[in-house]
Amino acid sequence: MKIRLVLSLMLFPLAAVCASPPPLALSPGEAFTYRVGWGIFGGAGEIKISAHKDTSAGSSRFRLVTTTATRGLIHLLYPFTAVAESIFDPHNGRLLSTHAISAAGRQHTEASMVFDYVHATASYVDRLHPERNRSALVIPSGHPADLITSLIQARTYALKPGDTCQALALFDDEFYALTIVADHYEKIHTSLGDFETLVLIPRMEKDPKGMFKHGAEVRVWITQDSRHLPVQLEVKFKFGTAIAHLTDYTPPAATVLALNTRPRS
């Protein structure tokens, strides 16, 4: 089922080089929930992204968790669930490690990566198919993050229509050279309200491969208010289009604390 392909694509790493060092895409306590529509199925799936402080390793780290799943009738016909966890260094924004698992019926995947920036290599481990393991995958210039996080990370860039920035995408163990294009402003209506947004499109302009070779197109709509919310994501294939609409937003913990401690008049 194609919707499972779309949801699983959200877990692949993508290294954006639009800024150095990169700002974190979310702040601790911040969370996004998306409803994914596919064709006539408006509630085909769900994506949840949440950011947390992590001190389990004895030092302050930043943990980003992305869960994706089919829902409703689609889940009954094509069950799919996946969880991806990324650990970042909050001081320099670098990705330290990733771990992702998925289940699609009887098919399961589990893979992880650990990044060694001193030697500019990463170790890739496929726990179910060890013959695919890579102990010294060369890290090109860039700052790795999973695909959906990198698209959301674009909210931190001061882009306007006509601006571009380069990106380096890693799908499984293969790198893709992408260009993120700030395409145009667009007013859209969502369940959270009406917004003026900037539409960003990542493209593979040189030697396209994978889904880009087959004409796929990805778009993200970023609100132009102070929050810069990624209110809509779209993945368009020749066989159909999946659209993720932001349905619930939790602001950063620091913002909530500030509001709760503000003196009352």
Which residue(s) pair with 108 in the sheet?
103
Taking the CA of residue 163 as centre, how many other CA atoms within 13 Å lie in the half-sphere pointing to its CB?
Answer: 13
* Cβ proximity of 178 and 168 under 8 Å: yes
Distances 127 to 4, 113, 191 between C-alpha atoms, Å: 21, 11, 40
Question: pLDDT by residue (tens digit) across 222-238?
Answer: 999 999 999 999 988 88
Structural domain boundaries of the chain? 2-259
* Cβ proximity of 63 and 57 under 8 Å: no
pLDDT for the residue 265: 45
pLDDT classification of 62: cutoffs 50, 70, 90: very high
Question: pLDDT by residue (tens digit) across 135-166?
Answer: 999 988 777 776 677 777 778 888 899 998 87
Average pLDDT over residues 38-45: 88
pLDDT for the residue 176: 75
The pair of three-digit structure tokens given for residue 108, joined into one six-digit string:
């399961």
Question: pLDDT by residue (tens digit) across 80-111?
Answer: 999 999 899 988 888 899 899 999 989 999 99
The pair of three-digit structure tokens given for residue 111, joined into one six-digit string:
């893979």
pLDDT for the residue 258: 45
Q: Which residues contact 196 (CB under 8 A, 6 or more apart)?
A: 185, 186, 187, 223, 224, 225
Average pLDDT over residues 212-221: 86
Cα angle, residue 85 at apex, residues 11 and 211 outer, rounded to 5°: 10
- Residue 57, helix vs strand vs coil: coil
Task: Check whether 23 has a pLDDT greater than 60.
Answer: yes
b/e map of 211-226 (b: 16 or more CB within 10 Å)?
Answer: bbeeebebbbbbbeee
Backbone φ and ψ for 163, nearest 5 degrees, come out as -75, 150
The whole-angstrom separation of Cα 234 and Cα 218 is 6
The whole-angstrom separation of Cα 204 and Cα 208 is 5
